[in-house]
């Protein structure tokens, strides 16, 4: 079979142990994302199978309808917002999904960003390269307040780490988050305003959906302390467009650490966040580590093997079988 793996940013998928499951096929990998529909069609036109790498891979209707050979899209992970399922159903294309959710990696990155930003690790390391010794005073974590907006699987691990570092954990979110917070012995904020006003470090762990898009607005950020840190390893769209850059320029909050952006990948060094000295930016590293890749790609490749053998698939679009 002709299999295309797009958006292999790290250029390492063929080095995974699980790659052996599909290595006997004609596998083509692309490291850089396609920049247009025509470029996507050129890449995928001969493919019977496309491996869609989480939110990196976009497959709109305008592309799907031009891929007559495509029979299967297998997702790396459980969901994506960038595939037109309606077009897949109409063109008898099965979309197979993963089954696992691994919160450890993004939680670890969140904690790393908190430590790196509050203790000015990246800032001081860069200053050292310039010959400065040392240049700033940082903020310790013990005794400060860690705000958790959304106490789900990832938020719970971050809260646990914060408690272990001697931070006071304050939670706000939906009813389930507040119930879990009470059960864990964490303080529950009186509302979103209190969460933003009180937190020394505020970490976003809200699931993105139409109701939560832009749930953090300019007024929320303006309530934060001048020395506070906002951390976002969830989704950039949780924050009102342009609000974070404007808030950092205004000094409330004083710092931000982010792993997610509205348009990815960012290959323009002139991106407004990258120009701010009080923003620590990393390139969507939350899930990119070896164990996670082996887990997610193993599940994706297992679906290709099942398809090859005519076995049932885990379908994200089971209605396609009606066709």
Nearest-10 Cα torsion for 80, 40, 32, 262: -40
User: Domain check: are 8 and 67 in the same one?
Assistant: yes
- What is the residue whose two structure tokens read 């389930």? 176
User: Domain check: are 193 and 266 in the same one?
Assistant: yes
Do the beta carbons of residue 232 and residue 258 sit within 8 Å? yes
CA distance 287 to 141: 25
User: Domain check: are 150 and 94 in the same one?
Assistant: no
User: Domain check: are 54 and 120 in the same one?
Assistant: no
Do the beta carbons of residue 226 and residue 252 sit within 8 Å? yes
User: Domain check: are 157 and 228 in the same one?
Assistant: yes
SS3 content of the chain, % helix, strand, coil (to 5): 40, 15, 45
Do the beta carbons of residue 171 and residue 200 sit within 8 Å? no
What distance lies between CA 156 and its chain's CA centroid? 17
CA distance 212 to 299: 29
CA distance 201 to 120: 14
Could you tell me the two tokens for 257? 């650490």
pLDDT at 41: 97
Domain residue limits at 80: 2-101+289-322
CATH (domain of 305): 3.40.50.720
User: Domain check: are 169 and 254 in the same one?
Assistant: yes
CA distance 208 to 149: 12
Instruction: Classify residue 45 by its DSSP letter.
Output: T
Could you tell me the two tokens for 61? 């209707």
User: Domain check: are 224 and 256 in the same one?
Assistant: yes
User: Domain check: are 317 and 260 in the same one?
Assistant: no
Could you tell me the two tokens for 269? 């060094």
Element (H, E) at 202: strand 201-204
pLDDT at 55: 84
Q: Which residues contact 238 (CB under 8 A, 6 or more apart)?
A: 204, 206, 208, 212, 213, 214, 215, 216, 232
Do the beta carbons of residue 295 and residue 100 sit within 8 Å? yes
CA distance 318 to 57: 21
User: Domain check: are 134 and 74 in the same one?
Assistant: no
Q: Which residues contact 37 (CB under 8 A, 6 or more apart)?
A: 60, 62, 63, 66
pLDDT at 171: 98
pLDDT at 322: 84
Please give the span between the terminal C-alpha atoms of the chain, in angstroms, as a whole number.
23
Q: Which residues contact 10 (CB under 8 A, 6 or more apart)?
A: 288
The total number of structural domains in the chain stands at 2
Per-residue model confidence as pLDDT tens for the chain (323 residues): 999 999 999 999 999 999 999 999 999 999 999 999 999 999 999 999 999 998 899 999 999 999 999 999 999 988 888 899 999 999 999 999 999 888 999 999 999 999 999 999 998 998 899 899 878 899 999 999 999 999 999 999 999 999 999 999 999 999 999 999 999 999 999 999 999 999 999 999 999 999 999 999 999 999 999 999 999 999 999 999 999 999 999 999 999 999 999 989 998 888 999 999 999 999 999 999 999 999 999 999 999 999 999 999 999 999 998 86
pLDDT at 59: 96
Across-strand partners of 280?
A: 257
Angstrom distances, CA of residue 318 to CA of 60, 94, 236, 313: 19, 8, 30, 9
Do the beta carbons of residue 28 and residue 51 sit within 8 Å? no
pLDDT at 21: 98
User: Domain check: are 108 and 137 in the same one?
Assistant: yes
User: Domain check: are 313 and 181 in the same one?
Assistant: no
Do the beta carbons of residue 253 and residue 86 sit within 8 Å? no
User: Domain check: are 50 and 139 in the same one?
Assistant: no
């Amino acid at each position: 079979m002709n299999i295309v793996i797009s958006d292999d940013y790290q250029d390492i998928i063929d080095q995974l142990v699980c790659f052996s499951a599909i290595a006997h096929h004609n596998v083509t990998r692309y490291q850089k994302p396609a920049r247009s529909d025509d470029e996507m069609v050129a890449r995928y036109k001969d493919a019977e199978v496309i491996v869609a790498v989480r939110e990196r891979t976009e497959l709109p209707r305008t592309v799907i309808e031009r891929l007559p050979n495509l029979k299967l899209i297998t997702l790396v992970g459980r969901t994506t917002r960038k595939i037109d399922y309606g077009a897949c159903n109409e063109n008898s294309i099965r979309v197979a999904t993963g089954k696992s959710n691994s919160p450890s990696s993004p939680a670890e990155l969140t904690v790393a960003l908190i430590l790196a930003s509050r203790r000015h690790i990246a800032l001081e390391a860069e200053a050292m390269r310039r010959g400065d010794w040392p240049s700033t005073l940082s903020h310790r974590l013990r005794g400060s307040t860690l705000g958790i907006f959304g106490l789900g699987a990832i938020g719970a691990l971050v809260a646990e780490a914060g408690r272990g570092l001697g931070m006071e954990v304050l939670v706000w979110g939906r009813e389930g988050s507040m119930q879990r917070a009470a059960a864990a012995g964490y303080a529950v904020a009186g509302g979103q305003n209190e969460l933003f006003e009180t937190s020394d470090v505020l970490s976003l762990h809200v699931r993105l959906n139409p109701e939560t898009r832009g749930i953090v607005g300019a007024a929320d950020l303006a309530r934060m302390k001048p020395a506070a840190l906002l951390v976002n390893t969830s989704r950039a769209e949780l924050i009102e467009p342009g609000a974070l850059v404007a808030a950092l320029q205004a000094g409330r909050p004083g710092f931000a650490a982010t792993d997610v952006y509205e348009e990815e990948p960012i290959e323009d060094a002139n991106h407004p966040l990258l120009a701010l000295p009080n923003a620590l930016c990393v390139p969507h590293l939350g899930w990119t580590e070896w164990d996670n890749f082996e887990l997610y790609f193993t599940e994706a490749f297992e679906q290709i093997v099942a398809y090859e053998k005519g076995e049932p698939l885990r379908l994200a679009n089971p209605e396609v079988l009606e066709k």
